[in-house]
């Protein structure tokens, strides 16, 4: 009986000892885990929570990237439009420049001729009149002149060349004095042949006795039209 009780006691002791062993073993494992893992905000979350969080961030990231891609495409589009706009702008600019040049609003230079007319001192011969200048300008226009000026007064489409009181000549409303220098830009040969040769007006003037000379210049410089071009009645 006594041995039985002792045996029972030993079994109990062993059982509880094994239980304690297992308990302490697992406890130390747990201590190690808790010690070695950083205790931060993340620690307090469960893995599933972290996973959902991660998934959320991933989704957000993807969304943002999609947006970024969209915006980039838009920017590309804008860039293209801008480029085409720039092309149009350049075209318009070129056109504007050309129009200004033909209108006489800008200073121009190019190959052409210079005609110098001087009055003779002989009193019998009439002075050079505005009609003479008009004829010459017309002839130059016919020969394809791109720009013409008389004594630095640019001839534009509404330019006037008039004689006032048979005493002085006005071009663009400005009085000009002899010698009259007519500059023209265009094909030199055409311009010259329009004035010289058979029926050329310069030849006729020379016959009368005027002192007229024609010089070919590679760089004729013609100033811009000085007045404003006013548009009041045109619509």
Partner 1 sequence: MIAIAILIGCVLGAILGMNTPMISYTYSSYLAIAIIAALDSVFGGITSVIKKNFDLKIFITGFFGNAILSILLTILGEKLNVDIYLAAIVVFVGRMFTNLAIIRRYYVDKWSNQLKEKNEKKD
Residues that bind partner 1 (CB under 8 A): 9-30, 32-34, 36-37, 43, 46-48
For partner 1, the closer CB: 26 or 125: 26
For partner 1, the closer CB: 27 or 142: 27
**Helix, strand, coil shares of the chain as percentages rounded to 5?**
55, 20, 25
Give alpha helix (H) positions in the chain.
2-36, 47-103, 130-142, 188-195, 201-208
Burial class (CB in 10 A: 0-12, 13-18, 19+), 148: buried
- Residue 235: both structure tokens together: 């619509």
Q: Which residues pair with 216 in a beta bridge?
A: 113
For partner 1, the closer CB: 46 or 230: 46
- Rounded CA-CA distance 139/136 in Å is 5
Q: Which of 84, 82, 146, 87 lies closest to 113, judged by CA?
A: 146
Shortest Cβ 53–partner 1 spacing (Å): 15
Shortest Cβ 5–partner 1 spacing (Å): 11
- Rounded CA-CA distance 139/206 in Å is 16
- Residue 54: both structure tokens together: 């991660």
* The dihedral formed by the CA atoms of 61, 67, 69 and 74, expressed in degrees to the nearest 10: -170
Shortest Cβ 43–partner 1 spacing (Å): 8
For partner 1, the closer CB: 25 or 68: 25
CB atoms within 10 A of CB 123: 7
Shortest Cβ 68–partner 1 spacing (Å): 35
Q: Which residues pair with 155 in a beta bridge?
A: 148
Shortest Cβ 52–partner 1 spacing (Å): 11
For partner 1, the closer CB: 49 or 77: 49
Shortest Cβ 14–partner 1 spacing (Å): 6
Number of H helices, E strands in the chain: 5, 8
Shortest Cβ 13–partner 1 spacing (Å): 4
For partner 1, the closer CB: 52 or 84: 52
For partner 1, the closer CB: 40 or 198: 40
């Amino acid at each position: 009986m006594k041995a039985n009780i002792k045996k029972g006691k030993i079994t109990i002791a062993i059982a509880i000892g094994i239980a304690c062993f297992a308990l302490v073993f697992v406890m130390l494992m747990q201590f190690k885990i808790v010690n070695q893992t950083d205790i931060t905000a993340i620690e307090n979350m469960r893995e599933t929570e972290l996973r959902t969080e991660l998934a959320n961030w991933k989704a957000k990231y993807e969304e943002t990237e999609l947006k970024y891609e969209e915006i980039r495409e838009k920017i590309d589009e804008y860039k293209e439009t801008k480029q085409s706009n720039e092309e149009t702008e350049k075209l318009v600019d070129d056109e504007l420049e050309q129009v200004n040049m033909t209108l006489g609003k800008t200073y121009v230079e190019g190959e052409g001729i210079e005609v110098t007319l001087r009055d003779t001192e002989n009193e019998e011969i009439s002075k050079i009149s505005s009609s003479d200048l008009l004829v010459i300008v017309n002839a130059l226009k016919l020969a394809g002149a791109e720009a013409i000026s008389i004594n630095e007064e640019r001839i534009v489409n509404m330019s006037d060349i008039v004689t006032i009181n048979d005493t002085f000549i006005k071009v663009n409303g400005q009085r000009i004095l002899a010698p009259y220098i007519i500059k023209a830009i265009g094909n030199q040969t055409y311009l010259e042949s329009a004035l010289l040769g058979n029926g050329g007006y310069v030849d006729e003037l020379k016959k009368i006795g005027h002192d007229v000379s024609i010089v070919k210049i590679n760089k004729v410089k013609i100033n811009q039209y000085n007045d404003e071009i006013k548009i009041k009645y045109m619509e």
